[in-house]
Amino acid sequence: MSAIVRHYGLPLSEAAAFGLASALTFAYIPFIKFYGLPLVSYRMPPRAIMRGLQKPLGFKMHAETFRTPEAGAARLNELLAAGRLVGLQVSVFWLPFMPPDFRFHFNAHNLLVYGRDEASGDYLLSDPVLEAPVRCAPADLAKARFARGALAPKGLLYYPAGVPREPDWKQALPAAVKKTARIMLRTPIPLVGVRGIERLARAIERLPVATDPDRTRQFIGHIVRMQEEIGTGGGGFRYMYAAFLEEAAPLAGRPALADLGAELVEIGDRWREFALATARMIRARDPLDPARLAALLREQAGREKAFFMALDKAGR
């Protein structure tokens, strides 16, 4: 996301774009399933992040979906021919350049297309998981863009209309921070924010340890995958948000934000400890004990509650 903005001449770090879009959250959605396991997310969905950036940066992001792969490919070619940088939502599984162990049917992956090789028709793309740009054949990309299943991308592509401009930091940063605190503390459904963490703790306690230890291990492993393998930075995006707070403090003229950033790093460390405790149980280095993991999660919920209340105050 930040790469699109940077392309149009506004130097914005990934962390700053993440924070400005109020992308940090926690969500546990038991009725959206991947392989029979619930959706657990530490950030907002890509479309929400896109929308969140529009207002502070004063531009519109155009998003289009398509009925057929042909229409999707034609529109993508047209935009690339016009020299645009285009973001795509894709399924990870059909991307041949992905490391094989990452190739699951996970539909909410995003990458950037910046050009097309005229001779072979290959697309030139930049993928956040990989360090170097890659190429992808049109047939593979079409499959990835039109994969079906939960959160199906339907060929979603997006590009900015208008030029993003530097925001009024003193106004935009406190607003973004307050919005994140509001999402974490006061979302009316109990599956999002701090209450979502508590719900997840309860779901873990109810896992069938005695009757189906395999399912228990899959469930807790899934949480850690969502926390550590998705996105940049680890610690369920808590580190990235901490980096944003550190950047934001001088820009907004609120030094309290930097102190909160340091606090959030601590919370991120605790998330990593949770991941470690889980992995040890999966490998049977520690006895499988979901109650202990649930207790760790509850502690995290308590810490995040206190943290976001302080953040809310700092944003006022």
CB of 269 to another protein, least distance (A): 6
* Separation CA 1–CA 229 (nearest Å): 18
Q: How many residues bind another protein (CB under 8 A)?
A: 50
Do residues 235 and 269 touch, judged by C-beta distance below 8 A? Answer: yes
Q: 236 to 265, contacts with another protein by CB under 8 A?
A: 239-240, 242-243, 246, 261, 265
Beta strands 86-90 and 134-136 are unpaired
Question: Which of 104/114 has CB closer to another protein?
Answer: 104
CA distance readout (Å), 313 to 171, 179, 181, 203, 283: 15, 12, 9, 31, 42
Question: Which of 80/220 has CB closer to another protein?
Answer: 220
CB of 41 to another protein, least distance (A): 16
Q: 5 to 44, contacts with another protein by CB under 8 A?
A: 15, 33, 35-36
Question: Which of 19/160 has CB closer to another protein?
Answer: 19
Near another protein by CB under 8 A: residue from 45, 115, 138, 233: 233
Question: What are residue 161's phi and psi, to 5 degrees?
Answer: -110, 130
Amino acid sitting at position 180: T
* Separation CA 250–CA 260 (nearest Å): 13
Neighbouring CB atoms inside 10 A of 176's CB total 27
In terms of Cα–Cα distance, which of 73, 60, 15, 30 is closest to 203?
Answer: 30
Q: 104 to 143, contacts with another protein by CB under 8 A?
A: 104-105, 129-131, 143
Does 67 bind another protein (CB under 8 A)? Our answer is: no
* Separation CA 73–CA 71 (nearest Å): 6
CB of 243 to another protein, least distance (A): 4
Binding mask 141-160 for another protein (x = CB under 8 A): --x---xxxx-x--------
Stretch of residues binding another protein (CB under 8 A), selected from 98-106, 170-178, 203-211, 248-256:
98-106
Binding site for another protein (CB under 8 A): 15, 33, 35-36, 93-94, 99-105, 129-131, 143, 147-150, 152, 217-218, 221-222, 224-225, 228-229, 232-235, 239-240, 242-243, 246, 261, 265, 268-269, 272, 275-276, 278-279, 282-283
